[in-house]
Chains A and B, each alone.
Chain A
Amino acid sequence: MNGTRAVVLGAGIIGAACARELALAGLEVTLLDRGGAGAATTSHGEGNVLVSDKGPGPELRLAQLSRRLWPEVLAAIAERSPAGARCVEAAEWDPKGGIVVATTEAGAHGLAEFAATQRAADVRADTLTTDALRAAEPCITHAHTAAVHYPEDAQVQPAGAAAALLTDALAAGARLRTGEEVLAGVVTRGGRLTGVRTPGGVVEADLFVNAAGPWSGALGARLGAPVAVEPRRGDVLVTTPLPPTVFHKVYDADYVGAVGSSEEELQTSAVVESTRAGSVLIGSSRRRVGFDDLLRPEVLSAVAAKALRLFPSLAGVPVMRAYGGFRPYVPDHLPVVGADPRLAGLWHASGHEGAGIGLSVGTGRLLRDLVLGEPTEIDAHPFRVDRPAVLTPPPESRQQNRKQGRKQNREQRRKLEMEQDQDQDQEGA
């Protein structure tokens, strides 16, 4: 594939992971992003690398592949360049393990069943006695009913991890162009995508990877191949630095339900974890509200209440920050990785919802193998573009798209008005 030109559209963690694999495979890779690298969803979420929240199935297999790759990939990056080594340091890889705690009888029952199915799929899931739980997490609530330890769960600092992958891609010869928004595609009469248009001109290549996160749906539409990827909002709380209080990734058994749910209204479940600097991160909510960034104190309040159910003793800890982002959501909760059957030359790597950090390295590997036509390490078929959930947008999302279209029109008008104002300013000056 030497000499094949690939353009990755979007320089979030997914784009970075794909660019890295393609560049290492010898392709001539360019990353385009309208913003800064890693500045969007990738730096507005958390960095859980989990197998524990996934039931048997394709997503778990992708998670297991990724979990296996992470330490190898980070070691290789640190090896390749001093800049890479510095970024790997900032990525704060920590295989600390996760503990899922149930606080109701029904929850305990569900958790036990879920863990049994996971074990059958080669996930390590150790049931904890009360004493073992207390030893592992001394501050945990007394009101728990069951707990399972997942030693394979890990954590990264997401923006650092993305920067590490990207630094390595650049070291392998990829080029990064930020501040360039992809506006449209250039399609030959034969129906092949041969270029994308940005304000700076046309960027040509042999293949293009749509890795635009929650904007992949919109970008796909611009290129003539829409995919049903939508935003699902999440908010995270950050406390002031504490002495060690939370030792694993601890979350409530409800989390599994919330991840798999498609409800539009607010879902919260607590995931509590410490960062290297001592702050505790508390996530997170799931709401499908389009790209609405308005602060909702009641959402933060609900997240806080859930966390206190697990760790009542955190009640006095100051929260100093809240942030949030938009998970790239597909109605069947599976990522989209593969060639677009409708438009030759276009590939997708998107729709990772709340797991894109963890799944990034596996996704990059999978995409590389598909592009090279090599056998894949896991079955890629479930992630194909050509599946109903991806190609038929659900009715409510069509409505939302229309609404968004209207909003875009409004914005366009507003922009025009402002430009006119500028003209007037200039005349006046």
Chain B
Amino acid sequence: MTPRHVGVVGAGPAGLAAAHAALAAGARVTLIDAAEQPGGQYHRMLPEAYAAERPGRLQHGWQEFERRRRQVLTHRRCSWLPETSVWALERHEGNPEPAAPGGPADPTGRPPRVHLLCGGPADGSGRGRRTLDVDALVLATGAHDRVLPFPGWQLPGVFTAGAAQALAKGERVAVGERAVVAGSGPFLLPVAASLLEAGSTVLEVLEANTAGTVARGWGSRPWELAAQLGKTPELADCTAAMARHRVPYRLGCTVVEARGEGRVEEVVTARLRPDWSVVGGSERTVPVDALCISHGFSPQLELPVAAGCALHGDRGRPGLGSGTGTGTGEFVLVDDEQRTSVPGVFAAGEVTGIAGEPAARAEGAVAGWSAAGGDRSARALRVLRRSRDQGRAFARRLARAHPIGAGWPGWLRADTVVCRCEETDFGALCAAFGSEAEASPRVAKLGTRAGLGPCQARICGPTVLELRDRLGARPDAGPIPGRRDGPGGGNRARGEDRAGDGPREQSAEGLPAATPHRRPIAQPLRLGELAASPEPWGTAPSGTAPDATPGTPEIATPDITVPDATTPGTAERTDPTDPSEESTS
């Protein structure tokens, strides 16, 4: 029997674990990533040219990662396609967008066709166009930094935390000598630590949420933070590094303005109320040459949306989900086996929720195992699921402890840039959203140009959406979650025949709902590349045989390898005294 063919998009922690588990379950795997090396955000690797003395120094869990990476990439049932971008997913004819999870199943049950650009980085040229048809598809495309606007955030010298981290970890370049790290979430700590490691002075780390919000969010189960992050030596290391360098960590504070001639020279910090409105008179000026900002993460949803996967969450609307701030935003809806609402399509990692690397790995392994048609009663799967469920619980708490406060638009001035690509300012958005004739998202987008630039609203999309909800001219601009592909029939307004509901606009027949995640061209491609006709990706990739040949090393049975592959490389993970283990059983 020919093994099932599983396509995995994204070779970050989730995708790599998915490939590993799918191989363990006997499937043939095609693993795809736009980057040159596997590892994703977390194990952002040194370019091979840099493979310096001890590349692992800045990387936790390196050995474990190295082992899994080798096992997957050298496996004879695995084709690894580095520097390969998935630019489109093509649904099959007669495969309409499912209305809701559990809605009518796609009659063909085939996952969409995968359109690839092979043999060059994401902004490369002259790449070959290929198509790939698989039996099951795992989407593990991760997330990118979310950054809220404030006056001066577009100045050179202001970095997203992810970019700063990538420079420090990947290229070992410090972003500046005197840096401030600000935003929200536990990821501020590793960012500060890698800046210190790269030789910067970190003046302070500012968490926008107040001590009260953070404490309430972690609430009765503060150990989950430790269980998910602290079991990696990472958090301890970060805290230790901060203590060693006497870096203050301030809660309820943030940077509300960056100033400078041509680049950032100073920042204005301020104390915040729980809703992130500024406490008047608390502003201080701090001279810096770099500012690193992270307000959490936005999942990379274009491929799941292109596949027709249902999403869940509140699109980051103010006042929902938690008392003081915005909720968790939208993520791919998955079931217990990481299935999406689209048959044959699975999702794992940060596209389903933001919970850090261990959770991404656990999800990936469950997804890979299920996609490969692995035995559903395997003992290993139970362990994996439990670890995945802990990850999900952690994600919920993380969202509650580090919400985005509803008061952030108060930081903006009329001339504050909101869309950096097109330099659209807050004033222009206010004018458009305040006008009946222009308030519809597509009309406002075309009129103000916010989101039309090269990043295609990846940065400003959620921000613009939220501003629109606040500024909406319509009297009924209240919260009307009306996504056609939303999960929740449940929270939709009744009288659904009202197709286009003001701000929460529903699209006309055939036309897609206005969502910041819809990008039918998921990765840019050159006109010449697009014009070429594609070749199908070889049935059996070069150097691999469709069936097991005796003598090649086989990935061990899932019972041993897979759970191992999903836990931070230490033995404590099954520590029976660990409260987090007890709490979910």
A and B: partners?
yes
Instruction: Please list the residues of chain A having a beta carbon within 8 angstroms of any beta carbon in chain B.
Output: 16, 33-40, 43-44, 83, 86-87, 90, 157-160, 162-164, 166-167, 170, 176, 178-181, 183, 199, 215, 231, 237, 239-241, 277, 279, 282, 290-298, 300-301, 304-305, 307-308, 314-323, 325-326, 410-411, 414-415, 418-419, 421-422, 425
CA–CA, A250 and B132, complex, Å: 35
> For the complex, what is the distance from the CA of A292 to the CA of B512, rounded to whole Å?
10
When the two chains form their complex, are residues A320 and B527 in contact, meaning their CB atoms are under 8 A apart?
no
Which residues of A lie under 8 Å from residue B501 when comparing CB positions? 179
Proximity bits, B292-311, A CB within 8 Å = 1, else 0: 00000000000000100000
Contacts of A35 in B (CB 8 A): 440, 499-500, 505-508
Taking a contact as CB atoms under 8 Å apart, the answer to whether B510 and A326 are in contact is: yes
- Measured CB to CB, the nearest residue on chain A to B490 is A425
Given A35-B440, A36-B505: A159 touches B498 (CB 8 Å cut-off):
no
Are the CB atoms of A322 and B520 closer together than 8 Å?
yes
- Residues in chain B near residue A16, CB distance under 8 A: 437
Distance from A315 Cβ to chain B, minimum over Cβ atoms (Å): 3
A33-B532 Cα distance, complex, nearest whole Å = 41
Q: By the criterion CB–CB under 8 Å, are B88 and A295 in contact?
A: yes
Partner of A294, one of B91, B495, B509: B91
Known: A34-B498, A425-B490. Contact between A319 and B526, CB under 8 A? yes
Asked if B508 and A308 make an inter-chain contact with CB atoms under 8 angstroms apart, the answer reads no
Max count, chain A CB within 10 A of own CB: residue among B103, B474, B505, B530:
B530
Q: Which residues of A contact B500 (CB under 8 A)?
A: 33-36, 39, 178-179, 181
Instruction: Please measure, in the bound complex, the distance between the C-alpha atom of A160 and the C-alpha atom of B452, giving whole angstroms.
Output: 14
B433-466 interface (Cβ within 8 A of A): 435-443, 446-449, 452-454, 456
A-B contact pairs, 17 of them (CB 8 A): A35-B500, A37-B443, A40-B508, A43-B446, A87-B435, A90-B448, A158-B446, A159-B443, A178-B440, A179-B500, A181-B497, A181-B498, A308-B527, A316-B125, A321-B456, A322-B520, A410-B104
Q: How far does the alpha carbon of A284 sit from the alpha carbon of B438 in the complex, in Å?
A: 26
- The minimal Cβ–Cβ distance linking B241 to chain A, given in whole angstroms, is 39
- In whole Å, how far is B237's beta carbon from the nearest beta carbon of chain A? 39
Chain B residues close to A by CB (< 8 Å): 88-91, 93, 95, 99-100, 103-104, 115, 123, 125, 306, 422, 431, 435-443, 446-449, 452-454, 456, 474, 476, 489-490, 492, 495-502, 505-512, 514, 519-521, 524-528, 530-534
In the complex formed, the residue of A with least CB distance to B474 is A178
* Contact status A277-B431, CB under 8 Å: no
Q: How far is the CA of A315 from the CA of B528 in the complex (A)?
A: 4
Q: Which residues of B contact A414 (CB under 8 A)?
A: 99, 103-104
Q: Out of A83, A167, A295, A305, which one reaches B520, CB within 8 Å?
A: A295
A290–B96 alpha-carbon span in the complex (Å): 13
Further contacts, 5 of them, CB under 8 A, given A39-B500, A178-B474, A319-B530: A37-B437, A162-B437, A170-B437, A316-B528, A325-B511
Does the CB pair A36–B510 fall under 8 Å?
no
Given contacts A37-B443, A414-B103, contact A318 B525 (CB under 8 A): yes
Interchain CB contact under 8 A, B446 and A160:
yes
Name the residue of chain B whose CB is nearest to the CB of A323: B520
Picked from A166, A241, A290, the residue with its CB within 8 Å of the CB of B454 is: A241
How near does chain A come to B409, taking the closest CB pair, in angstroms? 21
Which A-chain residue is minimally distant from B518 (CB atoms)?
A323
- How far, in angstroms, from A429 to B126 measured CA to CA in the complex? 56
User: What is the distance, in angstroms, from B331's C-beta to the closest C-beta of chain A?
Assistant: 20
A322 vs B512: C-alpha distance when bound (angstroms)? 13
Q: Which of A83, A157, A291 contacts B509 (CB 8 A)?
A: A291
Which residues on the B side are within 8 Å of A239 (C-beta)?
527
Q: How far is the CA of A98 from the CA of B520 in the complex (A)?
A: 29
Nearest to A411 among chain B residues (CB) is: B99
Question: Are A166 and B499 in touch, CB under 8 angstroms?
Answer: no
Contact yes or no, B506 A159, CB < 8 A: no
Q: How far is the CA of A163 from the CA of B434 in the complex (A)?
A: 13
Are A176 and B437 in contact, CB atoms less than 8 angstroms apart? Answer: yes
> Which residue on chain A has the smallest CB distance to residue B448?
A90
From B103, B447, B454, B496, A320 is in contact (CB under 8 Å) with B454
Q: Are A307 and B527 in contact (CB under 8 A)?
A: yes
The CB with the most chain B CB atoms within 10 A, among A164, A301, A325, is that of A301
Query: B residues within 8 A CB of A167?
Result: 435, 437-438
CB <8 Å contact, B509 and A180: no
Cα–Cα, bound, A35→B508 (Å): 7
Known: A43-B443, A307-B527, A320-B456. A38 touches B88 (CB 8 A): no
Chain A's closest residue to B504 (CB) is A179
Q: What residues of A have a CB within 8 angstroms of the CB of B452 in the complex?
A: 277, 279
Shortest distance in angstroms between B1's beta carbon and chain A's nearest beta carbon? 31
Question: In whole Å, how far is A244's beta carbon from the nearest beta carbon of chain B?
Answer: 17
Q: How far is the CA of A36 from the CA of B500 in the complex (A)?
A: 6
Taken together as a complex, chains A and B put the C-alpha atoms of A166 and B508 apart, in Å, by 19
Report which of A279, A294, A418 forms a contact with B100, defined as CB distance below 8 A. Answer: A418
Q: Contact between A320 and B438 (Cβ–Cβ < 8 Å)?
A: no
A74 to B322, CA, bound (A): 47
Residue pair B306, A295 in contact (C-beta under 8 Å): yes
A87 touches B437 (CB 8 A): yes
Please indicate the chain A residues that have their CB under 8 angstroms from the CB of B525 in the complex: 318-319
Q: Which of A39, A292, A316, A425 contacts B443 (CB 8 A)?
A: A39
Contacts of A317 in B (CB 8 A): 526-527
**Would you call B510 and A293 a contact (CB within 8 A)?**
yes
- Tell me the bound Cα distance from A65 to B507 in angstroms: 32
CB-defined contacts of A318 to chain B, threshold 8 Å: 123, 524-527
Residues in A with CB closer than 8 Å to B104 are 410, 414
The smallest beta-carbon distance between B159 and chain A, in angstroms, is 22
Residues of A within 8 A of B534 (CB): 297, 301
Given contacts A83-B435, A160-B447, A163-B443, contact A315 B507 (CB under 8 A): no
For the complex, give the distance between the alpha carbons of A86 and B444 in Å: 12
Question: What residues of chain B lie closer than 8 Å to A419, measured between beta carbons?
Answer: 489
Nearest first, the 4 closest Cβ-Cβ pairs linking A and B are A35-B500, A36-B440, A291-B510, A315-B528
Q: A297 touching B447 by the CB < 8 A rule?
A: no
User: Cβ of B489: which chain A residues have Cβ within 8 Å of it?
Assistant: 418-419, 421-422, 425
Q: Give the distance to chain A from B113, nearest Cβ to Cβ, in Å.
A: 8
- Most chain B CB inside 10 Å of its own CB: which residue of A297, A317, A326: A297
Task: Quote the shortest CB–CB distance from B53 to chain A (angstroms).
Answer: 38
Nearest Cβ distance between residue B531 and chain A, in whole angstroms?
A: 4
Smallest CB separation, B115 vs chain A (Å): 5
CB-CB nearest in chain B for A305: B531
- Least CB distance from B420 to A in Å reads 13
CB atoms of B476 and A179 under 8 A apart: yes
* Residues A87 and B438 in contact in the complex (CB < 8 Å), given A37-B443, A159-B443, A422-B489: yes
Contacts of B508 in A (CB 8 A): 34-35, 39-40, 215
CA gap between A119 and B392 in the complex, in Å: 70
Known contacts A315-B526, A316-B125, A316-B527; is A418 also within 8 Å of B99 by CB? yes
For B100, the chain A residues whose CB sits under 8 A away are 418
Residues of B contacting A294 in the complex (Cβ-Cβ under 8 angstroms): 90-91, 93, 95
Closest A residue, CB atoms, query B508: A40
Instruction: Tell me, in angstroms, the Cα distance from A241 to B422 when the chains sit together.
Output: 10
Whether A87 pairs with B527 at a CB distance below 8 angstroms is no
- Which residues does chain A contribute within 8 Å of B306, judged by CB atoms? 295
Q: In whole angstroms, how far apart are the Cα atoms of A418 and B533 in the complex?
A: 42
Instruction: Give, as a whole number of angstroms, the nearest-CB distance from B222 to chain A.
Output: 30
Which of the residues B125, B431, B441, B528 comes within 8 Å of A36, measured between beta carbons? Answer: B441
Q: Is the CB of A166 within 8 A of B509?
A: no
Tell me how far the C-beta of A197 lies from the nearest C-beta in chain B, rounded to whole angstroms: 11
Quick one: closest A residue to B447, CB to CB?
Answer: A90
**How distant is B96 from chain A, measured CB to nearest CB, in Å?**
8
| A319–B527 CB distance below 8 A | yes
> B448: which A residues are within 8 A, CB to CB?
90
Partner among B91, B422, B495 whose Cβ is within 8 Å of the Cβ of A277: B422
C-alpha gap A16/B528 in the complex (Å): 39
CA of A304 to CA of B532 in the docked complex: distance in angstroms? 9
Q: A39-B500, A39-B514 are in contact. Are A304 and B530 (CB under 8 A)?
A: yes
Q: How far is the CA of A33 from the CA of B498 in the complex (A)?
A: 10
